[in-house]
Structure 1
């Protein structure tokens, strides 16, 4: 076949007339150079093929594995919420013993979310764990034992789990010591000092080595005093738990000293020179002789004698605050929901103006309702802020709304829902402004309910509310299941160009 015709059929370039003679001499089946063609890459070596079963396991989870993963994720969520609730109770001066223990662990907890930390947390004085245990009676130790078991079960961090396990051992030992002793217990108590002299000077490594020797001796067939060695092993496990707890407390102390150096160097130096965590704290006294210091224990008639620390008066509990079990359940449920993005806890409580003794005060004991309120903060992109700020350098946050949650579970007349009203001081009316340039007016919002609850008031920003029914920004005012909910945001101001 003519090479030119063959080139036309196969898509090759036709040879020029002068080259047709040479084209006949060239082997048309040989490879030819083409500047427009790409240089192919060497083929990539494929990895050895795996079996179909192993590929399926790596890509998909079985039903059992999905169930295990779901349970693990749920445990993480429950543990995170428990730690959040402990932090809130400690900051508001109404913590339980377990809350102080969980709060002290936060300084070395690598699983914590940094957004849960507050600036003043490092300055909170937390009692030593052994001091907490020694200050409790038998009933309180029983409650603490259940809380410790929950934390120890949910915890996945190795060091945190060791912390809770050591506290469980010490709590059980403390409960055993508070029980009335029989003849055998009194006999063992007589040699307790000898056991202390043997075990107290030993380090954790020495105690672990001694534990192996005692277990080997108990498992052997030698004629030994089994009761003595078993009791010695119990005492050794208690001292071993103390050594582990001391090791964790030293890590907590070192981490807290590093944080304190940034805010209060003098206090950091004082803590570093001390033996450990403070033995006592002004906000911890769980002794049953002073029930007012543990408001969670339903001590309705007790009043706190100690004054709150400076700057925390609005978070401190008053003597007539409602601490019933129903209120506690509602409060804990609301706290478990946490604080959303752009929200902060709001507790700007004010004295109720012209508060007089209610007429029903002689029949019912007046009590102050509890609450868990949030304030919504955000950026206002008005013309000035758009000119002087951007998203990398945003303007200061302003108040955009409030979410009030006030608890009235024991209301006598449940047919009459609590109400609220706005109070503007100095005769100012709605729409009028006495605030200087750059400042916003404020007013009081007063919540009124029937017996046995007193009125309560908060200071808020005085701006026009958005009464729309939008899902995210909508107005909500309801009273259901003992909770008064008032959620609102302010109207947005739009500027025309």
Structure 2
């Protein structure tokens, strides 16, 4: 009996350990997502910036789990996170770092948080030692900084081995001195590793920026060459009509007064005095010098809500494209297929905003779920080796609205049935399913879009395997649903 209980006990222990590991992994993932959300919302705590920085350099991370596009962030060097924090804030940061140390299972990520913990402890120690200058602490710290500060990471690692060997030997040495030197060396070693982390972030993002700028330069070159070619073709005609050109020049207004008038679309912009503007520039320069790298962003005018006369770009920006790419990268499930059966939308009245904005269809990436329906007929005529035809069991709609003018109003959807058919009524022949239109409606500058789907009763169950989801977040409308299963009693 004792022999039989030992394997079962081991199995139970292994299951419990696996469950605890899965729970820790889930808690860690949620903590990272919350940190990214706070960073995006401008509510970041110091530990949030450390977590986001790790997400950028973590080689094991899944890009599909990213809540924000790291290229859009003004990432600072990690050591600048500790600047300006008092002892209470450093203590709170230390506790938050301990939480990540407890949850992290990756060796490289654990080493990263150990570096942060070491630097945080050193900052706290430096803060407390600042009040003990009478005991000569500051002079000792200055001597250590002269000795260890200029050394590279490789030199510090070599010196660490020498100090550990000396402490392990039986030589008559000042143990307190060498212990103190070793502790200080570990702090400088963590700083050196952190500098390498900052350099890797800067190199990676600078390389991406160079590629982006090279592509933009080539595109600009092509446009300029095309424009110069067009101008050269019309140059001969213009030179033969100099008097006409002179008269045209006379008709152009030279009074700068219209340029000094404030346009209606600029009246809502914030205003500041010259002194405030100068202070803002000084603060921005100080921050940029510490950051070391500022990502390239689109100009404020380059958005989808800009009037037609001022827009020259196509649908979707970088954030939309990255979100669309994430959705495409998820691929198709085992029983899923792409769903692109878009239907023509009939609109009686043209939207009022169509005169100001260019109407356009939103991007989408939809899937249809297929499966077998084991009703009584299929159970009689088919088996698992010779299955029945697959039928539609649900849909996953992902519609992208990145440039809504009024972002406070979420897009909606509605079901439209033809020929006066009501919900629950069946007009289709035997063996076929009724269909209906699902129509997605949003505001400017997007047109309505519709798809033809099977008209069955939806399952609104909150069960995970049923997968009902209806949400609008980050410009993406997601509607995922399955049809209710019909159970046949024997």
Name the TM tier (shorter chain): 0.3 to 0.5
Give me the TM-score of the superposition, normalised by structure 1.
0.45
User: More helix per residue: 1 or 2?
Assistant: 2
Give me the TM-score of the superposition, normalised by structure 2.
0.45
Rg (Cα) greater in structure: 1
